[in-house]
Amino acid sequence: MFRNTLIKGIETYLPGDKIGNEKYIEHFDKQDIDIRNLLASINRKYRYKASDDENVITMGTKASLKVLKNFNEKVEDIDIIIFASNTPEYLTPSNAIKIHHSIGAKNDALAFDVNADCMGAILAINLASTLLKGNPKYKKALVVASTLMSVFSRQDDALSYATMSDAAVSILLEAKEEESERGVLSTECQTDSRFHGATQNPIHGFSSYWRSASTDKEEGRLKSYPFDTSEYPTIWANMIKNVIANAGYKIADVKFFIMSQFVEKMIVDTLEKANVENYKNKYNFLTPEIGYTGLCCEMFALKDAIDKKLINEGDLIVLGGTGIGSSNMMMSYKL
């Protein structure tokens, strides 16, 4: 028998304010910054912005209550809550504690935060799976990921301010004793810290910001700098090959690839380098219509693939996440 950890359900949340390109083009034109080529090259049409009374906790709560309701789960049965974000509302207490309170979870549940930037949701799922497999006391977990880039981005930073969406996802996982192995099969990780300064939030760090006399809010927000991403597809392709081999499968066995949704060309280049046949039917790219949702993006793509029945129970998939800096994780997963 195998103690499998399975994704029982996924629900997503996007704020109500859907914004097209023109508003951002006008915003940056006033700063003598032309972002038209940028938006065209990375294929952005719309993005979603949170209202002034929303944050990562309120959005994460809405996604969590939705997944509990839609998949007939009792909140008192949740043993673990892991919250992932690169734009946390609080440093203390953990945002997971806030989620725990807002959904009314039980007192003996484990709740904590992780921050691996845009790799956060994939990492949190792996952590939840490890905890569920390793302790028979734990049977069900809630992974909540949320991002609020509209507030945390500098308004003169085109890459972050004009291309990303605020969003949240909630993933319900449960442990099951089964005769065949499913769920998370293997993971492959890689870190290349040469690019640790490519994007920083705040730009100069919290201690520098709070020690300074500056009252400029922009100095406390995220700033991104150009860096070379040409190596990513080769890195990802090698990681895909390794994570599949470590699970005892071949590239041809993989039904679908859930990859970072920032730029479609990076997905295509990766799958070509990994020698994936018929790859055009083995991935999806949602970003043009919803914006880049950061650490939530892979879960939006996974839910889309499940809802459209592009993948079904028993299929082998690969999920890949990457965090700026950079850190990468590939996960082989059997539905």
Let me know: does 203 contact 223? Beta carbons within 8 Å. yes
Return residue ranges of the chain for CATH 3.40.47.10. Answer: 2-178, 183-334
Let me know: does 260 contact 324? Beta carbons within 8 Å. no
Q: Which class for 290: exposed (0-12), middle (13-18), buried (19 or more C-beta within 10 A)?
A: buried
What is the CATH code of the structural domain delimited by 183-334?
Answer: 3.40.47.10
Predicted structure pTM score:
0.96
CA angle 207, 208, 212 (to 5 degrees): 115
Beta bridge partners of residue 332, listed in sequence order: 186, 318
Q: Which residues of 205-227 are buried (b: 16+ CB within 10 A; e: fewer)?
A: eeeeeeeeeeeeeeebbbbbeee
In a structure prediction context, what are the per-residue pLDDT tens digits for the chain, which is 335 residues long? 999 999 999 999 999 999 999 999 999 999 999 999 999 999 999 999 999 999 999 999 999 999 999 999 999 999 999 999 999 999 999 999 999 999 999 999 999 999 999 999 999 999 999 999 999 999 999 999 999 999 999 999 999 999 999 999 999 999 999 999 999 999 999 999 988 988 888 888 989 888 988 888 888 898 888 778 889 999 999 999 999 999 999 999 999 999 999 999 999 999 999 999 999 999 999 999 999 999 999 999 999 999 999 999 999 999 999 998 889 999 999 99
Best CA proximity match to 111, nearest among 88, 144, 135, 86: 144
The fold of the 2-178 domain, in CATH, is Peroxisomal Thiolase; Chain A, domain 1 (3.40.47)
